Amino acid sequence: MTNWTIGIIGGSGLYQIDALEDAQWIRVNSPFGEASDEILCGRIGNVQLRFLPRHGRGHRIPPSEVNARANVDALKRAGCTDIVAISAVGSLREELEPGRFVVVDQFIDRTKGRPSSFFGTGMVAHVSMAEPVCGRLSGFAAAAVEKAGGKVAKGGTYLAMEGPQFSTRAESHLYRQWGADVIGMTAMPEAKLCREAEMPYALVGMVTDYDCWREDAAFVEVSEVIEQMNANGELARKTVEALVAALPEEREASPLDTVLDYALITAPEERDPAMCAKLDAVAGRVL
């Protein structure tokens, strides 16, 4: 076995990884509440994989109610070293057509009221989000999309909206002016939490539609989105297999593995023991 353990967070259209060997669904308890589902644990070749459907099997959980803290904490407890998230997105650019995959490298967070940190009163921490994804992992992901036969855009800004409603046309035009390339409802606070949990993160956005900024399109049709999601899901599964096959035999340490070394602010004698106990998986290395 290699020393990679890849966590896959599957979004809309990806609820299963059929290529997993020795696969079994395992419930991982988290002090941050219930994760979206059990975690499918197994391997592809010599690489351990942990798969979590973000919305639960059968797509039961809407974006605003996804417990991202429990999901990320559970994946950390399941031994993940790195996280690849796969998400359905709308396109804000003509050249990012439905069916294309976008390996995101920046985010604009417009979500509202979602718990966005593992830390808080009794244990304060500040991590950098200047470069919110792992370049190494994103490179593997982009190459994997191409290997799987898909069209990929390398880099792009993801606008995270609250949902569950789609954008107004005015909002869609505004986000384009801001420089956003794709829009979705789930990458935040997920990316922030993976950074706090010291797990390098990459996001592959599966374009399903053009949102509503184009004047020749009245609005997002859910039926069209579902049809494109189903087509994207098969390519996503092939991408996961190609990514795992391309990983180096040994995982070299990443600077993102140790971001908490200089992030904790609260003096040791002032730290809340109950908070520290909840952080045993996320921050146990430095507590």
Which residues belong to the active site?
Answer: 209, 211
Q: How many whole angstroms separate alpha carbon 139 and alpha carbon 65?
A: 31
| H/E run at residue 137 | helix 135-147
Sign, CA torsion 41/7/122/287:
positive
Q: How many whole angstroms separate alpha carbon 75 and alpha carbon 83?
A: 9
One-letter-per-residue 3-state SS of 46-87: CEEEEEEECCCCCCCCCHHHCCHHHHHHHHHHCCCCEEEEEE
Q: Which two tokens stand for residue 67?
A: 């417990």
The gap between the terminal CA atoms of the chain, to the nearest Å, is 29
Closest CA to 83 of 67, 65, 71: 71
Asked if 75 contacts 7 with a C-beta cutoff of 8 angstroms, the reply is yes
Distances (CA, A) of 112 to 24, 46, 65, 109, 202: 35, 40, 12, 9, 23
Q: How far is CA 239 from the centre of its chain?
A: 15
Q: Coil, strand or helix: which one is 41?
A: strand
Asked if 217 contacts 210 with a C-beta cutoff of 8 angstroms, the reply is yes
Q: How many whole angstroms separate alpha carbon 100 and alpha carbon 11?
A: 16
Q: How many whole angstroms separate alpha carbon 80 and alpha carbon 239?
A: 19
Q: How many whole angstroms separate alpha carbon 56 and alpha carbon 204?
A: 19
